[in-house]
Chain A
Amino acid sequence: MKKLMQILFLSCLKATEFIEKKLNHKLSFKEKIQLKVHKSMCQACSNYEKQSKLIDKVMSETKIENVNKEDIISLKKSIVQKIAEK
């Protein structure tokens, strides 16, 4: 059965690749069907897709930390001081 699955269907490795491709781009018709069939039989990859989507969503809302002006001023001071000490 496992052997048959490998020939007819996707491996989990391939399925996770397809999931990433699907999230970022588009799958071909054949790829869509293959992924659907795979997920219907594989809870781990279904979990992966859900979580991967979630991670994308949270990452897209993450902002890079802003540096505030005071921090920059104090950093400059400390650098100049350290250089002078050398």
Chain B
Amino acid sequence: MSELNLTKWVNDYTEDMLSWALFKVSDSELAKDLVQDTFLVAAEKISTFKGKSSPKTWLFSILNFKIIDHYRAKKKMPFAFDGDEVISMFFNENGEWKKNKAPHEWQIDDTHLLDDKEFNEVLKLCMDLLPEKWNSCVKLKYILGKSGKQICEQMDISKNNYWQMIHRAKLSLRECIESKWYKN
């Protein structure tokens, strides 16, 4: 394997890799960086590529590591909670809203919200702050319009798991939007 191959791969796979990265992270500059980093890692490791898998599979596996790294790095950011943390963030032991977490009424005109650029930006930002799996789950469901069954199969999760993810993701999203958009 040589640099020649690599140049060909850049030509052949950059577009697919970028689409995938964009799906996972939404921010186009970040997605481009991730794809570029992937090829730089590939250039370093090309001697270890024995052609057992297709080059595309190999490159995508590197890209997926890069994406996971990105999510790991931002885990410490606010709103990026995982698992049961979310439930105890919002509710007390009796399942009641914690005082400062109870949803306030949004004094907004719903009819114009769909065209509200700022709201859309905040929503995107908030989606990207979700843990990686929830983010994929939410995007598959709402943006790509996949059914629950398809999502369970694709992500290899149980139906219960799926419902739980949607519920927790929505709790986090709502809170994120309220604090980043509404309170501004």
Contacts and interface: CB of A to CB of B under 8 A. Distances in A.
Interface stretch (B11-19, B48-56, B70-78): B11-19
Interface in B1-44: 3, 6-7, 10-11, 14-15, 18-19, 22-23, 26, 28, 32, 35-36, 39-40, 43-44
Interface in A7-30: 11-14, 16-17, 20-21, 24-25
Most A C-beta atoms less than 10 A away, residue of B18, B36, B163, B170: B170
B115 to A, nearest CB: 10
The dominant DSSP class at the B interface is: helix
B124 A75 contact: no
Nearest to B116: A58
7 contacts: A13-B87, A55-B170, A58-B113, A59-B143, A60-B145, A75-B18, A75-B36
Interface of B: 3, 6-7, 10-11, 14-15, 18-19, 22-23, 26, 28, 32, 35-36, 39-40, 43-44, 87, 90-91, 94-97, 102-106, 110, 113-114, 119-120, 123-124, 127, 138-139, 142-145, 148, 163, 166-167, 170-171, 173-174, 177-178
